[in-house]
Protein backbone atom coordinates (compact mmCIF):
# COMPACT_ATOMS: atom_id res chain seq x y z
CA UNK A 1 0.00 0.00 0.00
CA UNK A 2 1.10 3.55 -0.81
CA UNK A 3 -0.17 6.54 1.19
CA UNK A 4 -0.27 9.94 -0.52
CA UNK A 5 -1.25 12.87 1.72
CA UNK A 6 -3.17 15.47 -0.29
CA UNK A 7 -1.51 18.84 0.14
CA UNK A 8 -4.74 20.62 -0.76
CA UNK A 9 -5.63 20.18 2.93
CA UNK A 10 -2.24 21.28 4.27
CA UNK A 11 -1.87 24.33 6.50
CA UNK A 12 0.40 26.39 4.26
CA UNK A 13 1.56 28.50 7.18
CA UNK A 14 3.10 25.28 8.54
CA UNK A 15 4.39 23.79 5.28
CA UNK A 16 7.92 22.83 6.35
CA UNK A 17 6.77 21.44 9.69
CA UNK A 18 4.08 19.33 8.06
CA UNK A 19 6.39 18.08 5.29
CA UNK A 20 8.79 16.88 8.00
CA UNK A 21 5.96 15.10 9.81
CA UNK A 22 4.94 13.39 6.56
CA UNK A 23 8.54 12.38 5.89
CA UNK A 24 8.75 10.82 9.36
CA UNK A 25 5.60 8.76 8.74
CA UNK A 26 4.87 5.78 6.48
CA UNK A 27 3.80 8.03 3.58
CA UNK A 28 6.03 7.87 0.50
CA UNK A 29 4.05 10.03 -1.94
CA UNK A 30 2.74 13.60 -1.92
CA UNK A 31 -0.50 14.27 -3.82
CA UNK A 32 -1.09 17.61 -5.53
CA UNK A 33 -4.59 18.59 -6.69
CA UNK A 34 -4.27 21.13 -9.49
CA UNK A 35 -7.48 22.97 -10.49
CA UNK A 36 -7.83 25.59 -13.20
CA UNK A 37 -11.25 27.06 -12.35
CA UNK A 38 -12.59 25.87 -15.72
CA UNK A 39 -12.59 22.08 -15.75
CA UNK A 40 -13.64 22.16 -12.11
CA UNK A 41 -15.22 25.14 -10.30
CA UNK A 42 -12.29 25.94 -8.07
CA UNK A 43 -8.69 27.13 -8.18
CA UNK A 44 -5.84 25.56 -6.24
CA UNK A 45 -2.09 25.95 -6.54
CA UNK A 46 0.20 26.38 -9.51
CA UNK A 47 3.61 24.95 -10.39
CA UNK A 48 5.54 27.25 -8.04
CA UNK A 49 4.11 25.40 -5.04
CA UNK A 50 5.37 22.11 -6.48
CA UNK A 51 8.79 23.63 -7.12
CA UNK A 52 9.04 24.85 -3.53
CA UNK A 53 7.90 21.53 -2.09
CA UNK A 54 10.43 19.72 -4.27
CA UNK A 55 13.21 21.79 -2.67
CA UNK A 56 12.25 20.45 0.76
CA UNK A 57 11.03 16.92 0.06
CA UNK A 58 12.33 13.92 -1.86
CA UNK A 59 9.00 12.08 -1.69
CA UNK A 60 7.33 10.96 -4.93
CA UNK A 61 5.30 13.86 -6.36
CA UNK A 62 1.90 12.65 -7.60
CA UNK A 63 0.19 15.48 -9.53
CA UNK A 64 -3.50 15.28 -10.47
CA UNK A 65 -4.34 17.98 -13.02
CA UNK A 66 -8.05 18.85 -13.09
CA UNK A 67 -7.69 21.17 -16.07
CA UNK A 68 -9.24 21.84 -19.46
CA UNK A 69 -5.86 21.71 -21.24
CA UNK A 70 -3.92 18.69 -19.95
CA UNK A 71 -1.47 18.88 -22.84
CA UNK A 72 -0.24 22.31 -21.69
CA UNK A 73 -0.41 21.77 -17.95
CA UNK A 74 1.36 18.40 -18.06
CA UNK A 75 4.46 20.18 -19.41
CA UNK A 76 4.23 22.90 -16.76
CA UNK A 77 4.10 20.45 -13.85
CA UNK A 78 6.73 18.11 -15.26
CA UNK A 79 9.05 21.11 -15.29
CA UNK A 80 8.00 21.84 -11.69
CA UNK A 81 9.22 18.41 -10.56
CA UNK A 82 6.29 15.99 -10.89
CA UNK A 83 7.11 12.28 -10.89
CA UNK A 84 3.62 11.31 -12.08
CA UNK A 85 0.98 13.29 -13.98
CA UNK A 86 -2.64 12.14 -13.85
CA UNK A 87 -5.07 13.82 -16.22
CA UNK A 88 -8.78 13.53 -16.94
CA UNK A 89 -10.20 11.48 -19.78
CA UNK A 90 -13.10 13.97 -19.99
CA UNK A 91 -10.69 16.83 -20.77
CA UNK A 92 -9.73 15.21 -24.09
CA UNK A 93 -11.68 15.38 -27.33
CA UNK A 94 -10.59 12.05 -28.79
CA UNK A 95 -8.82 8.77 -28.09
CA UNK A 96 -5.95 10.05 -30.24
CA UNK A 97 -5.52 13.07 -27.98
CA UNK A 98 -5.40 10.85 -24.88
CA UNK A 99 -2.78 8.60 -26.45
CA UNK A 100 -0.73 11.59 -27.62
CA UNK A 101 -0.58 13.07 -24.10
CA UNK A 102 0.30 9.69 -22.57
CA UNK A 103 3.16 9.26 -25.06
CA UNK A 104 4.45 12.79 -24.57
CA UNK A 105 4.61 12.41 -20.78
CA UNK A 106 6.26 9.00 -21.00
CA UNK A 107 8.79 10.33 -23.51
CA UNK A 108 9.90 12.81 -20.83
CA UNK A 109 10.56 9.97 -18.39
CA UNK A 110 7.52 10.71 -16.22
CA UNK A 111 4.84 8.24 -15.13
CA UNK A 112 1.28 8.74 -16.39
CA UNK A 113 -2.09 8.32 -14.72
CA UNK A 114 -5.60 8.61 -16.13
CA UNK A 115 -8.76 9.43 -14.21
CA UNK A 116 -12.49 10.03 -14.61
CA UNK A 117 -15.18 11.91 -12.73
CA UNK A 118 -17.61 9.80 -10.65
CA UNK A 119 -20.36 10.05 -13.30
CA UNK A 120 -18.17 8.68 -16.12
CA UNK A 121 -18.36 4.99 -17.04
CA UNK A 122 -15.28 3.19 -15.73
CA UNK A 123 -15.19 1.10 -18.92
CA UNK A 124 -14.19 4.23 -20.84
CA UNK A 125 -10.72 3.76 -19.29
CA UNK A 126 -10.16 0.25 -20.67
CA UNK A 127 -8.60 1.18 -24.05
CA UNK A 128 -5.77 2.91 -22.19
CA UNK A 129 -5.11 0.58 -19.26
CA UNK A 130 -2.11 -1.14 -20.84
CA UNK A 131 -0.48 2.22 -21.59
CA UNK A 132 -0.68 3.96 -18.21
CA UNK A 133 1.07 3.52 -14.86
CA UNK A 134 -1.85 4.44 -12.63
CA UNK A 135 -5.62 4.80 -12.74
CA UNK A 136 -7.23 7.21 -10.28
CA UNK A 137 -10.78 6.58 -9.09
CA UNK A 138 -12.44 9.72 -7.77
CA UNK A 139 -14.64 8.89 -4.79
CA UNK A 140 -15.88 12.49 -4.59
CA UNK A 141 -16.70 15.01 -7.31
CA UNK A 142 -13.45 16.79 -8.15
CA UNK A 143 -13.03 20.41 -7.21
CA UNK A 144 -13.17 20.64 -3.41
CA UNK A 145 -11.65 18.92 -0.41
CA UNK A 146 -13.55 17.57 2.58
CA UNK A 147 -16.38 15.83 0.70
CA UNK A 148 -18.07 12.56 1.67
CA UNK A 149 -17.09 9.27 0.05
CA UNK A 150 -19.23 8.11 -2.92
CA UNK A 151 -19.88 4.36 -2.37
CA UNK A 152 -20.17 3.55 -6.11
CA UNK A 153 -16.40 4.03 -6.28
CA UNK A 154 -16.04 0.60 -4.67
CA UNK A 155 -17.60 -1.14 -7.67
CA UNK A 156 -15.27 0.72 -10.03
CA UNK A 157 -12.23 -0.26 -7.99
CA UNK A 158 -13.26 -3.92 -7.83
CA UNK A 159 -13.93 -3.95 -11.60
CA UNK A 160 -10.50 -2.48 -12.37
CA UNK A 161 -8.74 -4.77 -9.89
CA UNK A 162 -10.19 -7.79 -11.69
CA UNK A 163 -9.37 -6.36 -15.12
CA UNK A 164 -5.77 -5.52 -14.18
CA UNK A 165 -5.17 -8.92 -12.59
CA UNK A 166 -6.78 -10.89 -15.42
CA UNK A 167 -4.76 -9.01 -18.04
CA UNK A 168 -1.54 -9.09 -15.97
CA UNK A 169 -1.11 -5.32 -16.13
CA UNK A 170 1.21 -3.33 -13.87
CA UNK A 171 -1.13 -0.34 -13.52
CA UNK A 172 -1.71 0.85 -9.94
CA UNK A 173 -5.18 1.78 -8.66
CA UNK A 174 -5.39 5.00 -6.67
CA UNK A 175 -8.43 6.42 -4.87
CA UNK A 176 -9.02 10.01 -3.84
CA UNK A 177 -11.93 11.51 -1.91
CA UNK A 178 -13.51 11.06 1.49
CA UNK A 179 -10.81 8.72 2.76
CA UNK A 180 -10.64 8.01 6.48
CA UNK A 181 -9.91 4.87 8.52
CA UNK A 182 -13.34 3.38 7.70
CA UNK A 183 -13.48 4.15 3.98
CA UNK A 184 -9.80 3.27 3.57
CA UNK A 185 -10.59 -0.26 4.72
CA UNK A 186 -13.43 -0.47 2.19
CA UNK A 187 -11.24 0.58 -0.75
CA UNK A 188 -8.35 -1.64 0.33
CA UNK A 189 -10.72 -4.60 0.43
CA UNK A 190 -11.86 -3.65 -3.10
CA UNK A 191 -8.27 -3.72 -4.36
CA UNK A 192 -6.74 -0.25 -4.15
CA UNK A 193 -2.94 0.24 -4.19
CA UNK A 194 -2.65 3.98 -3.41
CA UNK A 195 -4.64 5.90 -0.79
CA UNK A 196 -4.96 9.67 -1.13
CA UNK A 197 -6.19 11.38 2.04
CA UNK A 198 -6.33 15.07 2.83
CA UNK A 199 -8.70 16.36 5.50
CA UNK A 200 -8.45 13.15 7.53
CA UNK A 201 -4.66 13.45 7.76
CA UNK A 202 -4.22 17.18 8.20
CA UNK A 203 -7.08 17.74 10.67
CA UNK A 204 -5.56 15.16 13.00
CA UNK A 205 -2.08 14.24 14.20
CA UNK A 206 -0.32 13.77 10.85
CA UNK A 207 2.12 10.98 11.70
CA UNK A 208 -0.33 9.09 13.88
CA UNK A 209 -3.11 9.26 11.28
CA UNK A 210 -0.88 8.17 8.40
CA UNK A 211 0.41 5.27 10.46
CA UNK A 212 -3.18 4.29 11.32
CA UNK A 213 -3.89 4.02 7.59
CA UNK A 214 -0.64 2.12 7.05
CA UNK A 215 -1.62 -0.49 9.61
CA UNK A 216 -4.88 -1.34 7.83
CA UNK A 217 -4.93 -4.67 6.02
Residue 106: CB partners within 8 Å, gap ≥ 6? Answer: 112
Catalytic residue among 36, 62, 133, 176: 176
- CA of 115: how far to CAs of 26, 136, 152, 170, 211, in Å? 25, 5, 15, 16, 27
Active site residue 36: no
Catalytic residue among 33, 36, 62, 133: 33
To the nearest 10 degrees (0 to 180), the angle between helices 15-23 and 47-56 is 60
Distance CA 160, CA 168 (A): 12
User: By the 8 A CB rule, do 117 and 140 touch?
Assistant: no
Active site residue 205: no
* Catalytic residue list: 33, 176
Amino acid sequence: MIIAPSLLSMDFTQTLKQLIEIKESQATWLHFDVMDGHFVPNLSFGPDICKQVRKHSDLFMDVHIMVSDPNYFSDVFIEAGADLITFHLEACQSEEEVLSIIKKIHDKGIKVGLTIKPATDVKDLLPFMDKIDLVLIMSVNPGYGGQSFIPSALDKIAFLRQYIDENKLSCLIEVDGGINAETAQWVLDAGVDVLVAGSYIFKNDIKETINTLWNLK
